[in-house]
Structure 1
Amino acid sequence: MILFEDPTIEELFSNYEEPYKSKLLEIRELIFACAEINSEVGKLKESIKWGQPTYSTLETKSGTPIRIDRFGESDIAIFFNCHTVLVEFFREIFSKELNFSKNRAIIINPLHKLPITQLEFCISSALVYHKDKIRTLRTYGM
């Protein structure tokens, strides 16, 4: 498990009920793992924005922030900047595997197993969005 550098963020996670807490922690680990395998990302900054755990590439400015939180009564979400084309891009590729909310989030049922392969792609894409945007969009014909 990736240790928390900020006790405020650790406390935020401790306040989530199960099964939300364990799934959000699993997604947190996945975000850090995706960042670690890509040298363009650099060290992630974990913070709280809008009351939600947020992951930013402040060191390299390679990507757009990712936020995670509960969504509605029974789900959780991975939020992306709505001013990007990321969710539209993910929807074109994973419309059968993932659920989305407008142009801002991937919605996940915390009672189901995480679709790791798809989420790794989405998270990695967000972490290098500013560096890789043109190449990625051309690859997928956007």
Structure 2
Amino acid sequence: MSIPFQSSAVAQAFEAYPPAMRRQLMALRELIFRTAASTPGVGELEETLKWGEPAYLTTRSKSGSTIRIAWKKTRPTEYAMYFNCQTTLVDTFRSLFPDDFQFEGNRALVFQDSQAVPTDTLAFCVAAALTYHRNGKDGAPVTRKPS
């Protein structure tokens, strides 16, 4: 699935990443779009930059919370998926999937460049973020592990 960028600024942000990290982040980007398309009520995503990083918003449906993906020069072997730290999302993911992810506080799932990403579990987390407002801000969207 090759999804065109919605803006040249986002495309340039991806181009600025080292090639190996760009591939990893493009895989996360594809997972976000694929999950949005298969999750009822999410609708079309807006792809933009927040803090200079690719961000995915449910602007039209207002069903969810923003997801960002990024690589940082200060942590060259890691890349991450960021969630709004004012939500209960990451705390909930930590309680459901303590061994599946590396967590950064209450805001991110961190991946090593050599690590296989648990895509089914991550898609569940993405769907929870993309429906967070629709299902209630108390963390209600994430109540059980994917089957």
Q: TM-score, normalised by structure 1?
A: 0.92
The 2-side partners of 1:136 and 1:17 are apart by 35
2:81 paired residue among 59, 78, 90:
78
Larger fraction in helix: 1
| Mean Cα deviation higher: 27-36 or 114-123 | 114-123
SS at match of 2:5: coil
Match of 1:120 in 2: 123
The 5 A counterparts of 1:1-142 are 1-71=2-72, 72-133=75-136, 135-136=140-141, 139=143
The Cα offsets for residues 4-63 of structure 1, whole Å up to 9 and x where unpaired, read as: 121111111011103210000000000000000123001100000101000000001000
Which consecutive residues of structure 2, in runs of 5 or more, have no partner in the other structure? none
Is residue 75–residue 107 contact of structure 1 (8 Å, CA) maintained in 2? yes
Is residue 85–residue 106 contact of structure 2 (8 Å, CA) maintained in 1? yes
The 1-side partners of 2:126 and 2:39 are apart by 11
Is residue 131–residue 141 contact of structure 2 (8 Å, CA) maintained in 1? no
The Cα offsets for residues 92-116 of structure 1, whole Å up to 9 and x where unpaired, read as: 0111111100000000012222210
The 1-side partners of 2:57 and 2:80 are apart by 17
Which consecutive residues of structure 1, in runs of 5 or more, have no partner in the other structure? none
- Counting aligned pairs with the same residue, the percent is 36
The 2-side partners of 1:91 and 1:4 are apart by 31
The Cα offsets for residues 64-84 of structure 1, whole Å up to 9 and x where unpaired, read as: 000000142320010000000
The 1-side partners of 2:127 and 2:7 are apart by 23
- What is the aligned residue count? 139
The 1-side partners of 2:58 and 2:5 are apart by 17
